[in-house]
Structure 1
Amino acid sequence: SMRLSFYLLLPVVVTVLLTVSVAYYVYIPLPDSIQEQWKLMMLDAGFRTTMHLVRNILGSEPDGGVAPGVKVSDITFAGVPVRLYEPPAGGEGHLRRGLMFFHGGGWALGSGKKGSYDKINRMVSDELNAVVVSVEYQMYPEVHFPVPYLDCLTAAKHFLSAEVLSRYAIDPDRVAVSGDSAGGNLAAAVSQEVR
């Protein structure tokens, strides 16, 4: 009798635990102004699941395995959070390239500190002997346009200051901006304004 009730109760307990786990994975807090929040939550969960599967299938190298000589620092440029990648020290007296990177994500998702963005920035820093600055601009829904653009512009102006260029031994004639998707839009706007 006790054993029978255990076997009858086990599927209920497993179902409840699975339901709670899936709900915890899917749920993300969203502003009340967004309509059909569950559709956005399901889409986000689908993207995250796909990314986890791709990483597991393709394999994921730990951060230290990609360009291990690159020094990585999380700092701020004029109040804007950035991740700075410095290549291994080269010959004395040689100025390095500088590169600002703005991640994509529709001005609402992503971080230059995670996944492929971090790995690519490490490799670019190492292979091009470049100081790479990945800007962690503020995103929607916490802020609206033009805040992400202003964050990127503020970080770029700080990066281009004589003091910063000197501190990291960067050639002022060899500085570029880059980005993908929304970051590409930010890169174009920042380069036009700075020019």
Structure 2
Amino acid sequence: LTVYKGRESYIIGDAIPERIFSKLRGDVVKTCLAQYFCELAITICPREQNSEEFLKLILNSLYLLSENKRSAQLIKPCLEMRLASLAGYMPDLRMCRICGEYLCDNMLFLPKSGTIECADCHRENGDMKILLNRSSLTALRHTVYADDNKLFSFALPESDLDVLNEASENYLKYMFEKDFSTLNFYKTIS
């Protein structure tokens, strides 16, 4: 890819594809999710800096989606949380922010602050909260703290995947103060 910097925008002078995700074209739902991944990249990835880790993560996500290696419901929150973490918006999921409890049956994820609280410590204040059971909490931690080569290496029941997706979507919404139009469209057709 050869890119020239113009006065107000960049101009692509030359492009040769190395990998074409042609299988995505056959599934409109996956195509919409891939567009969301691209909107995330445009929003989150740094400009005019080395972004090799970001690019690798996005390309791996597109590959897994294209080749049906993992479910879209698993790929999406992994990409969302890891992109946010790479950009410097890593949530603190180590322990309850009040008492230090590491794991209990019910923990609450607070997307606005990117922290967790155990159910015993939580005091209602009107902020959004997402109830996490042990497996969804472990999965959320995995999306942030796992080694790159193990990021997509877990499985969850569909109900826990739904909770994981809700947590990651709301976290990005708060951190980037943006409603992602491609995500909204993806959710209407999936």
TM-score range, shorter chain: under 0.3
TM-score (norm 1): 0.23
TM-score (norm 2): 0.24
